[in-house]
Amino acid sequence: MNVLVIGSGGREHALAWRLAQSPTVKNIFAAPGNPGIAQSATCLPGANYLQIAADYGIDLTVVGPEAPLIDGIVDHFRQAGRAIFGPVQAAARLEGSKIFSKNFFARHNIPTARFHSATSEAAALEALEEYEAPVVLKADGLAAGKGVVIAQSMDEARATVRQFMNGDLVGAAGQRLVIEEFLIGEEISFIALSDGVTILPLLPSQDLSLIHI
C-alpha cells in the first residue's frame, strides 16, 4: 500500500514513523514533509494533493494539520473516489471555530466553561463585565497554538481584546472571540476514532510540562 501523509510538523513525523512500521505499507510519501519525515518517507513539493495522489498511486492519504481538513480536503478526496483518513469539512468545523464548538456544546448539553462570543471590540468589552480575573480569551479561528490568552487582570483582558480585534496577535483569526471563565484543574485529552458508525476510543493522554531549574 502507498500512503501519503499531508503536513510538515512533529505530528506528521510521528505518523510517518509509525506507518513505516506497518507490514502493509510499501511506500510512504509526504507533502511537503520535513527532514525528520524524510527518514521514513519521500518528501514531495506542492499542495495539489489530489494530483499527487494520482501521480504516485496513493492508496491512502492521512491528513495531519487542521487547515486542510477545515478547507474540505476529505470531501474533495471522497468525491474523487480516493481513500483518506480525517473528518469531513462539517465535522472539522468543531476545530476550526471555537464559537461554533462552544455553541455546539451548549445546544447538546455538553459541560463546558461559561462563555460569551463576540465579533466586535465593543461586544467583547461589554461581555468582559460578566467575568472576574483571571479570564480566558480565545481567538475563534486557527492560530497555530497562539490563540488563547489567560488574562490575570481585567486591564490585561481589555488590552488583549483590543490586540485580538486589531489583528495584532493572530491576524483575522482573533477578530472573533470567545470570552470564557477560568477553570482550575488538570487538562486531559480523550480521543476516539470513528468511521461514522463505529467508535474506537484510545487511551486518555496529557501534555507533559517539564520544569527546568
pLDDT classification of 95: cutoffs 50, 70, 90: very high
Query: Average of pLDDT values for 124-150?
Result: 94
CATH topology classification for 97-181: Dna Ligase; domain 1 (3.30.1490)
Q: Is residue 112's pLDDT more than 60?
A: yes
- Where along the chain do the CATH 3.40.50.20 domains lie? 2-94
Q: Is residue 40's pLDDT more than 60?
A: yes
Q: Percent of the chain at pLDDT above 90?
A: 89
| pLDDT at site 192 | 93
| pLDDT at site 209 | 61
Query: Average of pLDDT values for 56-72?
Result: 96
**CATH class entry, domain 2-94:** alpha beta
| pLDDT at site 175 | 93
Q: What is the pTM of this model?
A: 0.86
Closest CA to 70 of 132, 127, 169, 142: 142
Q: Is residue 213's pLDDT more than 60?
A: no
- Where along the chain do the CATH 3.30.1490.20 domains lie? 97-181
| pLDDT at site 212 | 46
| pLDDT at site 208 | 73
Q: Is residue 70's pLDDT more than 70?
A: yes
| pLDDT at site 195 | 87
